[in-house]
Structure 1
């Protein structure tokens, strides 16, 4: 058995797997069908602006993702808050703040919950009790995956206002699903790991550079420095296995070819994985075929002057969900460039840009009084129809383990069984799990007495 590994997919999962395998001394080739690395977490140019394909935040508890940034030399690419602070805006200049205190968990959130102006006194007290109950649940309990987060909240006596203005405010952004369509198990993971178990876990990090630079340019340099052969604009056609290993026909700029490998890491979306494994049917593939997708829509507005004084804010009682100031990150030399991130955006996915403009510019004026006097210099929309898998009740049983296939095949991607939602952290952890599967296959060959040449 040789040490050749083929990684199919150049998103965060594939980049992570390739680096980990290269660090183990394996010979790695990475294929990416796009002209850049980074997958869905990338960027494109629009005039002088470097526009991220999605608005991603990083939490302090994203330990694997932050370790990847250190590994590729991009640790300075994310700025993390000293402590969690989320401004919450509403129409008419209404404003609240969710701020953690320097107290042990879970007391660090008590002042924020008990002082949250968007809820009444009774709702705040009930929310604190619900937080304590959430902390007692185990996200690995399969029974929780069969229940919706919204149903569980209502069983605790949470009001519709509390579900929308507190629990949904956070869970929709984290799970790309409203509470009634979100798995309780994944919601427990979000709130326990991100908010309740340790006091600083939810401190928010925002990229200081475009994602295309962090996950693309910088990651590409790190891969090549590690000895990984990177083939861009190269698409795998199908995965075939025989007694000599894996044979993967590919199409690229140089035409068609066949790449040979002893191990393959398949780090692509679940629908693509099914197609590539059409000649290698797996029982798990029939299960993950039940996974569906959920969209995210991003509305981009450039004003001739600053209208938002915060780097980011959540918005209630408005079509706007989350606002990000992208001015310096994107390289704008004047005015202010804002991005609105709309999760679970089914209703907006097929609407024309002029229709969205008619909705969101007035909505921004309602929550940002300065926007009423500002001139809009640019307005555009980016759509991610399959931004995440639909993180609904029952999906836990559909997500495959990294090593669920034949020897020499590993699955990666945030849709696999990482124990995490579909996030940057989940993607990186999936790459680490896939590299572990490859490492185990090499170790098994050594123990069987098969020569592994260096």
Structure 2
């Protein structure tokens, strides 16, 4: 008789855990309190168009995301636009890698960086060589700003700052240099294509969680949308009661707050660690300009105290309506404090300044979306909750202890690992 498993939370971690658990032989029930799956990377409908609660990107090194997408039926070669890593600006400057192995491509891109002088290029090559010599390791107490303090200001502003906020959603003055270097290492060391950008051509729901739900139901699993888990109890026989129904094991793949609420009676120290995490918001501003077309699907923007967005995406080049642009403000706590209306106004002014050659007025604000707890604040020496909470009770999510910042790949990997651990532990008990 198959073991029963409850997965609490239908975001990317929960859906990954559920799919893997079916493969491991579990009889799975997935609980999601919202009516829609995806968590912080989900579909939203804006003016009748299926878009997202925030613009997300993947990279070629996201091997577990790609594996599970293909398993559940996502056409990754069609639903993701693959491009060599680019941090290109509207004026033609920026870092632009060619296809191939990322290390020689990066060196070539730095040497040929348009607009940089010999000093900027030599300083970055020297720093990168030093990071590689030290095996991309550093003092765990260093911030990215401290790690890169010796680089010219232009290198820090045009490359390090946008890379850091894209990878860690944390400003360089607060971001962990140790995690930043680990991301660089894994992006550059996994062979050809590992640093490629993978831009979704469909909404985030269909890209994995909703497609995974279809796969799960076809495989015999139960998916309960709009079903919040209000009660989690340990049973005398070692099983767990979830909303009054007994299960052999449970994976908490919900938010840290929800997971701490459910786990507090059973693992108070774990719950306190989860509750102690601090979070950083991301703001996405959707705007429309008739006939607008950017030279690339994704452009970097020069962010300042008056210009909040670091990136803009042309949704018309990604399968969406022509002229629809998505502006992303990462590390957005200071702008959320100023207010969403002020943030949107600043983004609109920034767009008209930096993208004027590609826009025909009027540029119309469509929607401003804030994900207030988008990612944990990735600070140096951050203590994150362990994956194992209690016997037969695991946790999954991008905030669980591990080597990576809060990313879709981190969430998916944690879900897969949680299902695998439970299968091994329950098998050993038999």
Deviation (angstroms), 1:22: 0.8
Paired position in structure 2 for 1:400: 385
Deviation (angstroms), 1:360: 1.8
Taking structure 2 as the reference length, the TM-score comes to 0.92
Q: Indicate whether 1:324 and 2:321 are aligned.
A: no
Contact 1:364 1:371 in 2 (8 A): no
Shift in CA distance, 104/213, structure 1 to aligned 2, threshold 3 Å: closer
C-alpha distance after superposition, 1:186-227 (max 9, x if no partner)? 101211111355343111010111112223431211111222
Q: Indicate whether 1:231 and 2:224 are aligned.
A: yes
CA distance in 1, matches of 2:129, 2:191: 13
Contact 2:289 2:360 in 1 (8 A): no
- Across the two proteins, how many residue pairs are aligned to each other? 426
1:275 aligned to 249, 257, 261, which one?
261
Paired position in structure 2 for 1:450: none
CA distance in 1, matches of 2:101, 2:222: 47
Paired position in structure 2 for 1:254: none
Shift in CA distance, 328/169, structure 1 to aligned 2, threshold 3 Å: closer
Q: Indicate whether 1:122 and 2:119 are aligned.
A: yes
2:140 aligned to 127, 139, 145, which one?
145
Paired position in structure 1 for 2:180: 187
Stretches of structure 1 lacking an aligned partner (at least 5 in a row): 251-257, 447-454
CA distance in 2, matches of 1:197, 1:330: 29
Taking only aligned residues, the RMSD between alpha carbons, in angstroms, comes to: 2.2
Deviation (angstroms), 1:385: 0.6
Paired position in structure 1 for 2:296: 310
Shift in CA distance, 246/351, structure 1 to aligned 2, threshold 3 Å: farther
Paired position in structure 2 for 1:410: 394
C-alpha distance after superposition, 1:235-280 (max 9, x if no partner)? 1113211222344453xxxxxxx12111000001222211111211
CA distance in 2, matches of 1:390, 1:210: 26
Contact 2:292 2:360 in 1 (8 A): no
Shift in CA distance, 80/330, structure 1 to aligned 2, threshold 3 Å: closer
Paired position in structure 1 for 2:108: 111
Contact 1:298 1:339 in 2 (8 A): yes
1:361 aligned to 317, 323, 348, which one?
348
2:327 aligned to 334, 340, 363, which one?
340
Shift in CA distance, 112/53, structure 1 to aligned 2, threshold 3 Å: same
Contact 1:238 1:277 in 2 (8 A): no
C-alpha distance after superposition, 1:284-331 (max 9, x if no partner)? 333333321111011110111114221111112552310101136564
C-alpha distance after superposition, 1:112-168 (max 9, x if no partner)? 1122235432121110111122224456x6x743221211112xx213332221111
Contact 1:16 1:431 in 2 (8 A): yes
Please give the residue correspondences for 1:361-440 in structure 2 after superposition, counting only pairs within 5 Å.
361-370=348-357, 373-395=360-382, 398-403=383-388, 405-440=389-424
3-state SS of paired residue (2:178): helix
Paired position in structure 2 for 1:288: 274
Paired position in structure 2 for 1:28: 28
